[in-house]
């Protein structure tokens, strides 16, 4: 037990969750931009027209681009479609996403797809 009364594994799990949230917030659209994308796309997936489990997904993942967190760089997909989009990308460097970054995104979206992680809107 650590001095605080927690098992080391509990502390590591907590730190991993906090780290995941911080990374996710760094890559996610701001709430205002997400709402604008939802409104523009009429709260429907641009791929399937579905209206459940929607996410604002980046088109380009080049965070150095000043348009990274803009409405023009986003589209609405379902969580499953967002996952498929990242699987299809397979780390496409031209879109500014490394293989490691894409693997991380696939893992996070997969967890959301199966309801293991809740995301804040």
Q: What is the pLDDT of residues 9-52, one digit of tens each?
A: 565 555 554 444 444 445 688 889 999 999 999 999 999 999 99
d(CA 69, CA 62): 10
* Torsion angle in degrees (nearest 10) through CA of 113, 68, 14, 4: -160
Residue 102 lies in a domain: yes
Q: Which of 45, 55, 52, 60 is nearest to 92 (CA)?
A: 60
Between 62 and 57, whose confidence is greater?
Answer: 57
Range of the domain at 107: 29-113
Residue 34 lies in a domain: yes
**Residue 75, in any domain of the structure:** yes
As for how many domains the chain has, the answer is: 1
Q: What is the mean pLDDT of residues 43-65?
A: 92
* 84, part of any domain: yes
Query: Residue 52 falls within a domain, yes or no?
Result: yes
| Per-residue pLDDT at 47 | 96
pTM above 0.75, yes or no: no
């Amino acid at each position: 037990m650590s001095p605080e009364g927690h098992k080391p594994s509990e502390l590591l799990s907590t730190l991993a969750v906090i780290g995941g949230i911080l990374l996710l917030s760094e890559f996610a659209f701001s709430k205002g931009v997400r709402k604008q994308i939802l409104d523009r796309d009429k709260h429907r997936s641009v791929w399937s027209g579905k209206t459940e489990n929607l996410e604002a997904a980046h088109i380009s993942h080049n965070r150095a681009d000043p348009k990274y967190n803009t409405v023009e760089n986003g589209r609405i997909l379902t969580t499953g479609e967002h996952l498929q989009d990242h699987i299809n990308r397979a780390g496409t460097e031209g879109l500014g996403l490394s293989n490691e970054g894409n693997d991380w995104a696939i893992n996070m979206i997969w967890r959301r797809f199966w309801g293991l992680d809740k995301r804040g809107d």
